[in-house]
Structure 1
């Protein structure tokens, strides 16, 4: 059933933005039929002697992503094995709940279900290290580049360090690419970055870390005094960083200068 009013406008706008990012991430693997509201992901195999691709087909309800959840129409491995049942079960994980943009998470989840020959092995990711009293409180700043930051849960996690009143200041930019800038007590910044790194990312690169620098370190200053803020664009990130030399470091770290 078609949506009307604000819900319909919101669903259409959010889906359009999500599809734009997906097509940028997987330009040769994603197709979308607006008439059937079906999204197809084709995953090429690396297995020798096989030319077939693994495919995932999802039908998107009219209310998605405001409400409802994508439906698995087909899930087939490169050896033509039916993966629909295990795919549906895997999609019931709590980190891909209705009400959020989840297509990128579902594609990654499907990739994980494929055989090792179909997908490169994942690198081991360390679990977050609990923060012990008295650990490093020296100022530290990190700049992280992400292939994309779209999933609502990840965006919320980036804005909310697990420790209350953590003393971290910073900015995040969702979308494609995603950018995170955190500055504060070293041990707490390390703990927050470790917690984020443990999530599933297509790319998670620390582009700048003051631990690698020899000069005297200080907490970066931002246009807001406390906490972590989400901004819309790369220029907003630059404007949020107050010190000119820190702006230059940010731009050079992400490859703009």
Structure 2
């Protein structure tokens, strides 16, 4: 048994199988999930990047009479208005009192996620902004909180993707001016300034 924590995909599959134990079958090698209910079947292929980005592809769908209903199923999924990787997005601003030189491990941890975008500023006041899939943002912030920062506090949370001037990944900057400059949208700049008590 591995000590490694299960991935988000593994957790989602476990949850679906727990909810529908007799109806769901998943092949991790082919990334194909089969769902059967009262004679009807749906077969989905999960892209390699799922769940961080992309949506499952409907590769087969049959009703109880064995008629092909792939087109109807795909249309129903399309009507949900989901965008790959953006089903649940968050932007979080966390502030902490001070990040000292002796906490290099914490600084590296703050910069570590590859599935998120963001900006961090060490010193006083310390600032961290992360944006990306909601679960990934929440997990990263909870990991950071567990490091016992001095006066760590989430100041702002929004169900919306924030964009940064540097693009993807988390970048460390030195000044508050650089934090503001790194935010692409004017609305994000306004929300940031309000969250840290400058506006």
Q: Contact between 1:149 and 1:176, CA under 8 Å: does it hold in 2?
A: yes
130 and 236 in structure 1: CA distance in 2 versus 1, 3 angstrom threshold: farther
202 and 144 in structure 1: CA distance in 2 versus 1, 3 angstrom threshold: same
Alignment correspondent of 1:248: 190
For residue 104 of structure 2, the aligned residue among 127, 152, 166 is 152
Scaled by the length of structure 1, the TM-score of the pair is: 0.44
Structure 1, residues 93-119: CA drift from partner, whole Å, max 9, x if none? xxxxxxxxxxxxxxxxxxxxxxxxxxx
Distance in 1, matches of 2:88 and 2:6, equals 17
Scaled by the length of structure 2, the TM-score of the pair is: 0.56
Structure 1, residues 68-105: CA drift from partner, whole Å, max 9, x if none? xxxxxxxxxxxxxxxxxxxxxxxxxxxxxxxxxxxxxx
Aligned-residue offset at 1:132: 2.9
1:221 aligned counterpart, secondary structure: coil
Alignment correspondent of 1:119: none
Q: Contact between 1:130 and 1:191, CA under 8 Å: does it hold in 2?
A: no
Counting matched residue pairs gives: 119
Alignment correspondent of 1:43: none
Distance in 1, matches of 2:160 and 2:92, equals 12
Q: Contact between 1:172 and 1:228, CA under 8 Å: does it hold in 2?
A: yes
1:190 aligned counterpart, secondary structure: helix
Aligned-residue offset at 1:218: 2.9
Alignment correspondent of 1:227: 169
- The correspondence of residues 2-41 of structure 1 with structure 2, limited to 5 A, is none
Alignment correspondent of 2:160: 218
Task: Flag the structure with higher strand content.
Answer: 2
Say if 2:61 is the partner of 1:185.
no
1:152 aligned counterpart, secondary structure: helix
Alignment correspondent of 1:202: 150
**Structure 2 stretches lacking a partner, 5+ long:** 13-50, 53-86
Say if 2:176 is the partner of 1:237.
no
